[in-house]
Amino acid sequence: MQVYLAPTDQDRLGRLRDALATTKSDVLRRGLEALETQLFDPDRHPALSIIGLFRGASAAGARPHVDAARDHDEFLASGEIASWSSGLGNDPPNERPDGASE
């Protein structure tokens, strides 16, 4: 395979090769692997990291058997509202932490 690299990219590849004491081909392979991990690894990708986040969870006040995928707004809102009384979440809107009204 042949790849055209601009002079600045050739310099970058050379610096990485020297820093890693390896070949240019190995630098490119490692770069591809790092990019693939960054894009597709659920542990590192912000959007993919929500997969399974609510598996087995139930929100207080939600209908029994709420499908979190389909009814995500209700599921998340119910959990947020329940957290107000448990002290785990944010205070309800228009209520200050000291209990005074706004």
pLDDT of residue 82: 79
Q: What is the pLDDT of residue 16?
A: 96
Are 44 and 36 in contact by the 8 Å Cβ rule? The answer is no
* pTM attached to this predicted model: 0.44
Task: Tell me the CA distances in angstroms from 13 to 10, 45, 63, 64, 72, one per residue in order.
Answer: 5, 26, 56, 56, 45
- Check residues 3 and 44 and name the one with the higher pLDDT: 3
What is the pLDDT, as a whole number, of residue 24?
95
What is the structure's pLDDT at 49? 60
Find out whether 10 and 25 touch, Cβ atoms under 8 Å.
no
pLDDT interval class at 77 (50, 70, 90): confident
What's the pLDDT score for residue 80? 81
Over residues 63-91, mean pLDDT? 70
State the pLDDT at residue 48.
62
